[in-house]
Structure 1
Amino acid sequence: MLTLYEELMLLALDDKEGVVVPQAREPLMMGLASAILTELTLRGKLRTDEQFNVVVANPMPTGDALLDRALESIRTLPASPRPATHWIEALVRGMRDLEDQVIQRLVQRGALRIEESRRMLFFKESRFPQGASGFEENIRRRLRDVVMGGASPDERTLALIGLIKMTNLIEVVFPYTEWEQARRRIDELTSPQAAGWPMHAQPGYAPQPEPATDMMGGLMPVLMFSMLAQSMFWGTGGWMMPGMLGAPAPQEPSFGDGSLLEAGNANDFGDGGGFDFGDFGGES
């Protein structure tokens, strides 16, 4: 079974061209970070308290290298619990070549294949079209059954629906003739009210729960991170600026910028070294 972040990456890649679709280019990193946090929540590794802080519920490793690095960082870095918005931003900044690492995993699973070409003799260009494994077809079928067929979503499918909404992938997953209906249904499924979370945030601010709300009740666990990321991303009119959530900006941001999909980086998957959270672990 693919993780949420692998499923999201598959949907964000153009099946034939093998590059990230234009509309998902900017929000994808935040979407992948949200997918990692959501995956950890679904596996019972994270929970949130009444103050909306992310807390480690089970520190035992998952066996997934990316998930375990994120889990260990959340467990060890802060002197006190931090809110979900802090960790979304920290993962975006601290992940090293995340897109490249996820693509490598998908190639190894057979969900993607590598096509290399030369440009101007000197530059090697790599693209990653869909493989022959049927992974993406199964994902799209699952989404379609819920969004267009009216089936009740399981938690994992609901989480993915929230993620495709925040990364602008509705128009990629569904054909033009179904866009309007798909948007309506997805808005219903991912609304704050459906999640049991009255949201009255102004643009650019993370919504706050009502006092004494059980944040692990209802659908909140599977929608929380994608809803927060959407508020953070679109509330600032696009990509987050350094330090917008109060954390000091690292001098040299180390998260990937999709370099694997650009010329000259055919097989540069990075060192797999995980995360460099820099200043995010200390008190702000």
Structure 2
Amino acid sequence: MNRLQLINVSKTYKNGVKALDNISIEINSGMFGLLGPNGAGKSTLMRTIATLQQPDSGEIHLDEIDILNQKMELRKVLGYLPQSFGVYPKLSAEKLLHYFAELKGISSKKERNKIVDYALEVTNLSSVKNKHVAGYSGGMKQRFGIAQLLLNNPKLIIVDEPTAGLDPAERHRFLNVLREIGTNHIVILSTHIVDDVKELCTDMAILNGGKLLSHKKPIDAVSELKDKTWGLSIDRENLETYESQFNLISTNYNQDNSLNIRVYGDTQPGEKFQKVEPDLSDVYFVHLKADETEATNQHS
């Protein structure tokens, strides 16, 4: 069982933006979802764990590796798929994976054949292994990204916004690949898409403005909102009134252009409101709303 520990990790950029604000968290083997809006500090955190940038302060440990002081040790057991993943030469997937395997120090041809075949199989690319990667679709390129990071059997895998821009079928295939590899490694999935976390992750944290707002198992986070989530269908023109009176967490349109609103509250907010089953989106929006309110109160 692998364990990643972050202790009081902070990073402020030269322009004064506090990208990471005293982050302390422990992550164990399995799929871990890091959820937050764009600009929340997720990529900074991923890059910091991957040793691509230094924090101003704090410690990061993967088992016995002191990551900030043993960068090369970490890189030997790291698989990292950044948000935008390189331009490919006109080479087949199989040849490119052999090339990457050599770069990672796998010199035995027999061993390389075995690991490359395994990586192609796990990512469902065996049937297109002779095709140029440059001609792959977006989803296939993402799966190829996973194939190349599996070559050194990493203990820690980091994937940053991997499903952004994929069509529904490709997203589904990609998530299945992550699910497959998530059992034996620590896999950190950084995303702003709640459904990715809902479908895959056994543990999760919510990050916003560089701050850790919550760290809970998705199932526990949802059950905490039970009997505290309320729904009502309203006319669009009344939205502002409801926003000013209730703790509104989300809205979505009906086909007749009316709005479904969801409200958070310990007791029934008004007699027309009905209790609704909470989901992970509610958890996400409740935390973001509370953080927004706190920030507003601090500045006023």
TM range (shorter): under 0.3
Larger radius of gyration: 2
The structure whose residues are more often strand, as a share, is: 2
Structure scoring higher RCO (CA < 8 A, sep ≥ 6) equals 1
